[in-house]
Amino acid sequence: MKKVRIGVLTGGGDCAGLNPALKWVVKTAMDERLEWERGVRYEVLGIRDGWKGLVGIDLSSPDTQGSIVPLNPDIVRTWDRYGGTMLGTSRFSPYDPKNACHGLVRENIERLGLEAVIAIGGDGTLAITTRLSREGVNVIGIPKTIDKDLPETDYTLGYETALNVIVEEVDRLRTTAGSHKRIFVVETMGRTAGWLALEGGEACGAYIILIPECEFSIDRVNELVMEGRRSGTRYEIILAAEGARTVGGNEVVKKEGMDSFGHKALGGVGAVIARQIEEATGLETRSVVLSHLQRGGAPCAYDRRMGRYFGIAAVDLVVREKYGNMVSFRNGKISYSPLENIYGKLRLVDVATQYDADRYNGRRSMLNNGRKKNVNKNQS
């Protein structure tokens, strides 16, 4: 029987859903019944710490605690119960000029005898995957990011679990907010795409939701807060994505510089908004940054299922030699799309159809599909 070796890695930020995908890549590739149907026996190597794991490999060492870990169904049997990634991750890019080692990555893939590499990650990881594909490496992508900002797919691993965390934490904040008649500004992740803030805010009933796709006026925010108090509300919950910014303003940056994926280190917009609200209204206002809490914890049922489906589909693409593609979920079905269609692109909230730019909240009409464009008179 023909023997084929494949590698699998996780890159970028961790999230729930990675381990279920890893489990089902291994179980599907090494399924004994499917071996006889395919006429191929697959071996799976886990690559530690993302693309960094393919740099500096000592192939003379059998040390399985190093960069390369042989995987089998027994090892991964319980992985789908846990958050994060058992293989570890990093934001290392072999194309970063500081590293400049993509040639070495290609060489080590060949030296390891890998027929293909399955990369599970977001825009940064999949951008690297795309560039390696252009250089002749057989790769398959699996979409992962709590931001849900990848095009060509309606879902990315980790998103639903992160939404659940937002709702749970806001529910806890309500008790203290109501007790003290406070306003709470809750800062979520989302540097360019506001899906987490928007749909998390819709799910938890936030009074105001601020997203990167729609610049906001702090005067309008204060006006809405006072409207709420005049109507008898005891407290308000405001959700703000980390990339939200005022009209004509810039994102709030917590430190200078960028990571290897070219991302700014955003953070602090919640505290800025809270201070401006309290100064303008006199109402006690606090801020809470959810930060990495959104990434943590065990995967919810949906992420366990989607991790399973994506892992199986990735191996299907390897078997069919459909390299250079990313597994996707479109219109309720598992499919795949060329990595080139994802490269350098983001899936953003369509403000005209999915957001109310006057109320700074989710849309209030579903049947007209947002054909009447939102206009914020306070931003004109």
139-143 and 40-47: which strand pairing? Answer: unpaired
Which of 38, 32, 34, 42 shows the shortest CA–CA distance to 8? Answer: 42
Rounded Cα distance, 13 and 122, in Å: 8
Burial zone of 33 (CB within 10 Å; 0-12 exposed, 13-18 middle, 19+ buried): exposed
Asked if 316 is an active-site residue, the reply is no
Instruction: Look up tokens 């009933």; give the residue.
Output: 205
Rounded Cα distance, 71 and 68, in Å: 9
Rounded Cα distance, 176 and 89, in Å: 36
The encoded tokens of residue 377 equal: 């008179």
Beta bridge mates, 334: 329
Rounded Cα distance, 211 and 361, in Å: 9
Is the dihedral angle over the CA atoms 206, 210, 213, 214 positive or is it negative?
positive
A 10 A CB-CB count for 217 gives 15
Burial zone of 318 (CB within 10 Å; 0-12 exposed, 13-18 middle, 19+ buried): buried
Question: Active site residue: 147, 219, 259, 358, which one?
Answer: 147
Contact yes or no for 51/91 (Cβ under 8 A): no
- Catalytically active residues are 147
